Amino acid sequence: MNNKMKISDFFVQLQQIDFANILMLISPSIIYFTAKKPIESNYKLRKDFKIGGVKTASLPVEVIRKFDDINEEEILKKQFGELIMNFANTVKENIPEINLAIFLNNLNTLGTFIKSFGVSNRIFNRSTAGQYDPKKNAIELSKDTYNLTINHELFHASTTIIDKSTGMIYCGFQQISNKNTQIGKGLNEGYTQYLSEKYFGNNNSLITAYVYEKRIAETLEMIVGKEQMQLFYFNANLSGLVEYLKKYAPEEEIYKFINTLDFSNEHMDDKYLIPSSKEIIKNGFEFINSFLLKTALRKNIIDNTAAQLSTEDVLKSLIPILTLIPETVKSKNNSFQISGDKQIKDAFTSVMSEYELSDDRKTISK
């Protein structure tokens, strides 16, 4: 009896194997072995990471276009063409044209594709439903949720430049080097989702996406100001944001804030976290809150033209900020309780120590 299998028969049997189902069955084991390693080493790398003098990039003057240069007829022929034009018309009505140069340069050549994320999501414990590929200038969307994710991905397309000489990708508040070292992903995703929901509503947004990062980005916008924040974001100018914040916070703390938000974005959904890893993530959340509180307090003091300020009024200036920063953070797999009143008191005390106070501690002298 001949036990040898013909190559053609082998390929027939290979095609009949349900690889997606097999991967779904073994993915818990894969997740366990990739996630059980403590995250302390990654945290040490990330908390100290800083792109020296975060750079900026800009489009050559000769390629900057106006809305009149949009080829609407060709765009409508694309997959999701009507949704893309709806996005273009909405940002035209709400965003100054000076902030849309990157978008206008990417729009006509933008690619659009349907992609299945199911298998990779199960293996890597993700919930990806869409993504923007800067190198291809293309958005890839799930066929089931494309209407909820397309605006988020189009905002990424609106804010991305690639420096061809270095390979550096500038995307909103995120920078990715050609060695795949990156900074600013957490803030960038949060602000992108915030704008998606703000301009297109909850019915046209995946409101379960980047819930924590969105609140942090919205809080930062409240401190920086909408006009200034959007100017930095739409021009892919993380450097400008850092320089702006340096008036109100030490540079080291600004980078730590950005990197800690990146770290939280990467690990808050991790499965099988050991207690020390959970504590690191919780401490990161507390630092982010503290940074926002201190920066808001200093901005209120520094930007106020009065020679003397009431400490009570300064404390009251935090009320809008306190409505946004979270006391509890819940992710898909974990929940973290962040200290409340004590954190506010510590931030206030720390900032007040930087200024001269009256004997009764009711007045700040500048």
Handedness of CA 273, 275, 276, 282 (dihedral sign): positive
C-alpha 9: how far from chain center: 49
Q: What type of residue is 33?
A: F
**Predicted confidence pLDDT, tens digits, the chain (366 residues):** 555 555 555 454 545 544 444 444 444 433 333 334 445 555 444 444 444 556 666 655 555 567 777 888 899 999 999 999 999 999 999 999 889 999 988 998 999 988 766 556 555 556 666 789 999 999 989 888 888 899 999 999 999 999 888 888 999 999 998 656 889 999 999 999 999 999 998 776 677 789 999 999 999 999 999 999 999 999 999 999 999 999 999 999 999 999 999 999 999 988 888 888 899 999 999 999 999 999 999 999 999 988 889 999 999 999 999 999 999 998 888 889 887 888 999 999 999 999 998 888 889 987
| pLDDT given at position 38 | 47
- CB neighbour list of residue 295: distance below 8 Å, 6 or more residues apart: 223, 245, 248, 249
| Stated length of the chain | 366
Phi, psi angles (nearest 5°) of residue 183: -145, 145
| CB atoms inside a 10 Å sphere around CB 31 | 17
d(CA 108, CA 71): 7
Please give the pLDDT value at position 80.
92
pLDDT of residue 280: 92
Structure tokens at 357: 């106070």
Q: Give me the half-sphere count of Cα atoms (radius 13 Å) on the Cβ side of residue 297.
A: 26
Residues contacting residue 305 through CB under 8 Å, at least 6 positions apart: none
Q: Indicate the pTM of the whole model.
A: 0.83
Give the pLDDT of residue 173: 96
CA 257 to CA 264: how far, in whole Å?
A: 10
